[in-house]
Structure 1
Amino acid sequence: MSIETISILVLFLSFFALLAYGVPVAYAIGISSTLTLVLNMIFMPSITTISQRMTTGIDNFALLAIPFFILAGEIMNRGGIADRLIAFAKSLIGSFPGGLAFVNVISAMLFGAISGSAIAAASAIGSTLTEKMEEEGYPREYSAAVNMTSSTTGLLIPPSNVLIIFALASGGTASVAALFIAGYIPGILVGLAIMVMVYIYAMRKGLPRAPRVGFKQVFRDFGKAFLSLTLLIVVVGGIVGGVFTATEAAAIAVVYAILLGFYNKQLKFSDFRPILLKSAKTTAIVMFLISTSMAMSWLFSFESIPQNLTGFLLESVKNPLLVLLFINITLLVVGTFMDMTPAVLIFTPIFLPVVMALDMHPVQFGMIIVLNLCIGVCTPPVGTMLFVGSGVANVSVTKVIRPLLPLLGAMVLVLLLLTYVPELSLWMPRVFGLID
């Protein structure tokens, strides 16, 4: 057995063993990478290589966007934006069968897109709507399932931290601007798929409709939500138009969120201390994950894992459709036990060469990997959104699983569409001239 094969076995076996033992993902990545490096000490100058790769991995200007977007999301969560978006969504579609569940989906899509955080969307929207939905006959576990799945759309619809991380992991083959524009159609498709399942559930259960409101009320609620919605235009429009970079857009989002919070009279100076503390903690966790994952990604390159996997898959599985199906199944399984950030950083350099050998554009693969992991974060045993959504609704995780399955099924159908219909991901970037 060659030293390369032994190294690969040590890397993956130690990594998954540490995860199974309950070691946090970032530490599992760092420890397994260091063990593999020790094995290869004969080929490397010193063990400090790992720490060097961790440092250089986060020495990237584009990554400054992440702490700014995290901070902007925390400010928006306290700045009264969720209430205005819910009111606007309710005036638009509250009179449909299953109106409040539709409101949950639309509100989560809008808030997730504005804040760039699925957790913030689930917390803000779920805490507001769960009680109202229960009063109208929705079981709390169903409300939690709708809330957690619809909140993941904010990870596809820009601005999205995960798409920025994918742009970094892709080695520059996919730009942030192209990924941001590409995310609209997949994100909206996921929201529509969830709403179809909500409509079927509402008709089958005979849930009540909310009273229809007049055009004046719709216009009034739109006026209240307009400044919040404008943030999307400012941030994404500025990036796509070349007015500013993603990092500069994130800083502008922070300033905009602060001004909007004071304008709504729901943000106080005393709120900044807990906002900054929470944002700093979240940023520290994310950046540590990124740094250790970048070290592991470098180790993949050193061991030629992506190249060997590409050759093996293309030689063993002759049908490209089956190769893509295998990649999707692998990512779905990975998403059930690994958080999005390390999963994107670890598996992008492994699978990107494979799909590019099949003539798939990196932007399309970005949509596929993010949607795979959106499904994963809602799935047991360690899906982040599963626990956040259940906690917000104050319901047991085990009770959420049954109503969650049809919604996850709808998301998987959208995933298959994105995999085999490239234009769903590539049409808008081509319209804006961001890709060839």
Structure 2
Amino acid sequence: MLILFGIFFLLLIAGVPIAFCLFSSSIIYMLIYDLPIQMAAAKLVAGPDSFPLLAIAFFVLAGAIMNSGGITKRIFSFAEHLVGHLTGGLGHANVLASIIFSGMSGSAAADVGGLGAIELQAMRESGYSEDFSLAVTGGSSIIGPIIPPSIPAVVFGVASGVSIGRLFVAGIIPGFLMAAAMSVLIYFQCRGYDHLKRKRAGIGEIARAFKVSFFPLLTPVIIMGGIIGGVFTPTEAAIIAVFYALILGFAYKAISLRDLPRFLVETLNTTIGILFIIASASLFAWVLTISQFPQNFALTFMGLVSNKYVALILLNLFLLIVGCFMETTPAQMILVPILLPIFVSLGVDPVHFGIIMILNLMIGLMTPPLGLVLYVLSSVSKVPIERLSKTVLPYVIVIGIVLLFVTYIPQIVLFLPNLIYGQG
């Protein structure tokens, strides 16, 4: 294991892309220990060969269409009319818009790259400081992978065999809890800046904004209503989201047939990267398994820690560190087979464990050195990563507090899945 992980971390430190770190370290290990090299091809193909993983491609495509189809602007306008009069109004609108958009794309990067650009421009024009605008936009974006649909939930479901539908529903209350915590922080940060408030919108204005954004607002209702009602699977929901986004884009005359190749190329670039990581991580996980690393790790861990609550705090600390240095998908593909059996044996529900893992890794999106949200924000705003890391810190702390509640009050996660699907 020292050889396997040693090669992996050396390549990672050298700046080699994560998928090649996983692939290369696995192949070198197999050559050293004379393992059948043909198994590498079999595991690379088997890893991404999963019907639920199709949902990732289609949710990415749906997000790309919505960001270009005028849909995100309508969502933000409605959120602004609804809560713009509160202290820190556009900050609250930013969070509310992210909640709505999260019901469509399931991706933090899509939120920051599309909706985030609109939010930043509106907040700058209204007199909000750049640091505050960036911090709110970054913080609100990670609500997306918690509130369903969620791409990390799809990956966790594939890696663990846990119902993706249950995982989707389990993220609803934690997602709204994150939004509420951020709104409280926004209120305290903006006290004394009453000039930043928007005039309270009248019923007529709100009604007009709702009318304009009505069909985009239906998207999460259609997606989650269909999944919860058993009308379609999460993968089928992703396909429906694409068709619905196309219908809206064409109806609003915001996209044309000439735009479709661009959407497909953007989706392929993102999806191929994710699937190559999953393929390489599947090979890496197989090498770990045949080396009996998960079993030995579990025995060692259980020998050191037998208390569930102590184990959960150690889990959080470990995953927070992992999130700083590893992307979400490979972290899940590698760690789920190792950690899930340990915590299930300690009495932790697999769905609860899944949301804890996803939330920890989402915090990692806002922490250096590999925080994806920070890099997308930097690309959109041209602000250095170092400065962004400081501005988002209050939101990292607030979400960390929410993480503690989610960790030690399981019903926050399990109430809705058990209510809708019955006891797991």
Shift of 1:322: 1.7
From 402, 408, 415, the counterpart of 1:427: 415
Gaps of 5+ in 2: none
Q: Distance in 2 between matches of 1:207 and 1:374?
A: 33
From 190, 205, 210, the counterpart of 1:222: 210
Q: Does 1:48 align with 2:38?
A: yes
Shift of 1:312: 1.3
- % identical equivalent positions: 39
State the one-letter code of the partner of 2:182. Answer: I
Gaps of 5+ in 1: 1-7
Write out per-residue CA displacement over residues 360-416 of structure 1, whole angstroms, 9 at most, x where no aligned residue.
111111111111011001111111101111222232222222221111000101111
Q: Distance in 2 between matches of 1:304 and 1:397?
A: 40
From 40, 63, 77, the counterpart of 2:53: 63
Classify the secondary structure of the residue corresponding to 1:314.
helix
From 172, 180, 193, the counterpart of 1:192: 180
Classify the secondary structure of the residue corresponding to 2:198.
coil
From 83, 98, 111, the counterpart of 1:121: 111
Q: CA RMSD in A?
A: 1.4
Check conservation: 1:78, 1:266, Cα contact below 8 A: yes
Classify the secondary structure of the residue corresponding to 1:154.
coil
Match of 1:387 in 2: 375
Match of 1:250 in 2: 238
TM-score, normalised to structure 1's length?
0.94
Q: Distance in 1 between matches of 2:56 and 2:188?
A: 38
Q: Does 1:30 align with 2:18?
A: no
Q: Does 1:309 align with 2:300?
A: no
Q: Distance in 2 between matches of 1:334 and 1:204?
A: 39
Match of 1:141 in 2: 131
TM-score, normalised to structure 2's length?
0.97
Shift of 1:219: 1.7
State the one-letter code of the partner of 1:200. Answer: F
Write out per-residue CA displacement over residues 37-60 of structure 1, whole angstroms, 9 at most, x where no aligned residue.
22332xx4x212112111011111
Shift of 1:205: 5.1
Check conservation: 1:178, 1:434, Cα contact below 8 A: no
Check conservation: 1:144, 1:390, Cα contact below 8 A: no
Check conservation: 2:100, 2:220, Cα contact below 8 A: no
Shift of 1:190: 1.2
Residues 1:150 and 1:431: Cα distance change in structure 2 (over 3 Å): same
Q: Does 1:153 align with 2:143?
A: yes
Q: Distance in 2 between matches of 1:32 and 1:287?
A: 18
Q: Distance in 1 between matches of 2:231 and 2:286?
A: 33
Classify the secondary structure of the residue corresponding to 2:100.
helix
Write out per-residue CA displacement over residues 157-213 of structure 1, whole angstroms, 9 at most, x where no aligned residue.
11111111100111x1x1011001111111111111111111110015555211001
Match of 1:4 in 2: none
Check conservation: 1:113, 1:153, Cα contact below 8 A: no
